[in-house]
C-alpha cells in the first residue's frame, strides 16, 4: 500500500495548500516529460487526488487503505478479513473474554488447510480422468467421450487455479494480521473455568 502522505512528503495534518504545493514541487521532476517514470507519476497524482478529496482522505486516515492505491492482493485480503470482523461483531461473548485476533488466525489457517485438501482431491480426480482417457479406445470419427473427459480435466484445472488464487488471498489476509495482539482479561477466563 502506498502512503500518500509519504509519497507527497507532507505531514498527516497538512492542509490543502501544503498538499498542493508539495504535489507541484514533486510533479516537476516526476512528470514523464521531465524524465520521470509514468507509474511513479500516476501514483503521485493518485496520492494528491486522495488527499484533496476530504471523504477519501478520511477513509484512508481511518483504515489505511484506498482502493486506487491498494494492491489487488490487499483488497482481496481485506474482503476476507471483513467477513471475519463481522463475525467478531456478532459474537455475543464479552470483549476481553476471548482473543478475536487468534480466532481470525485459526479460521484463516483452517481455510488454507481446507483449500489445500480440496486441491489434492481435485488432482486425484484429474489423474483418474486422465487414466480413463489413456485407456479408452477412440471411436472412429467424432471422439465424444474423449472430448467430454478432456473438458472435465480443463474444468478441474480451472478450479485448481482458482483455489490456488484463493489460498494466496487468504495468506495475504493472514499477513495483514501481523503485529496485532489482543489483551484478554485473565480474570474472566479464570472465573469461566471455575
Check pLDDT > 90 for residue 72: no
Pick the CATH number of 4-70 from 3.30.565.10, 3.40.50.720, 1.10.10.10, 1.10.287.110: 1.10.287.110
Check pLDDT > 70 for residue 191: no
Beta carbons within 10 angstroms of residue 19's beta carbon:
21
What are the sequence ranges of the domains in the chain? 4-70, 71-194
Percent of residues, the chain, with pLDDT higher than 90 = 69
- Provide mean pLDDT across the span 119-133: 96
The burial of 138, by beta-carbon neighbours within 10 Å (0-12 exposed, 13-18 middle, 19 or more buried), is given as: exposed
Q: Which residue has the higher pLDDT, 139 or 116?
A: 116
**pLDDT of 62:** 84
Phi, psi of 35 (to 5 degrees): 95, 5
**Angle at the Cα of 34 from the Cα atoms of 32 and 40, rounded to 5 degrees:** 40
Give the model's confidence band at 54: pLDDT under 50 very low, under 70 low, under 90 confident, else very high: very high
Amino acid at each position: 500500500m502506498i502512503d500518500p502522505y509519504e509519497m507527497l512528503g507532507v505531514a498527516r495534518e497538512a492542509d490543502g495548500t501544503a498538499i498542493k504545493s508539495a504535489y507541484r514541487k514533486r510533479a516537476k521532476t516526476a512528470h514523464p516529460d521531465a524524465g520521470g517514470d509514468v507509474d511513479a507519476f500516476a501514483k503521485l497524482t493518485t496520492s494528491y487526488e486522495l488527499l484533496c478529496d476530504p471523504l477519501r482522505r478520511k477513509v484512508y486516515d481511518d483504515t489505511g487503505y484506498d482502493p486506487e492505491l491498494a494492491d489487488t492482493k490487499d483488497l482481496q485480503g481485506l474482503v476476507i478479513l471483513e467477513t471475519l470482523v463481522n463475525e467478531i461483531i456478532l459474537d455475543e461473548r464479552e470483549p476481553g473474554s476471548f482473543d478475536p485476533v487468534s480466532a481470525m488466525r485459526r479460521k484463516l489457517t483452517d481455510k488454507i488447510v481446507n483449500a489445500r485438501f480440496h486441491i489434492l482431491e481435485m488432482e486425484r480426480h484429474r489423474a483418474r480422468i486422465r487414466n480413463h482417457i489413456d485407456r479408452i479406445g477412440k471411436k472412429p470419427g467424432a471422439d465424444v467421450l474423449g472430448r467430454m473427459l478432456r473438458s472435465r480435466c480443463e474444468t478441474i484445472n480451472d478450479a485448481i487455479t482458482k483455489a490456488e488464487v484463493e489460498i494466496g488471498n487468504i495468506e495475504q489476509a493472514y499477513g495483514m494480521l501481523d503485529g496485532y495482539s489482543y489483551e484478554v482479561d485473565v480474570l474472566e477466563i479464570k472465573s469461566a473455568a471455575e
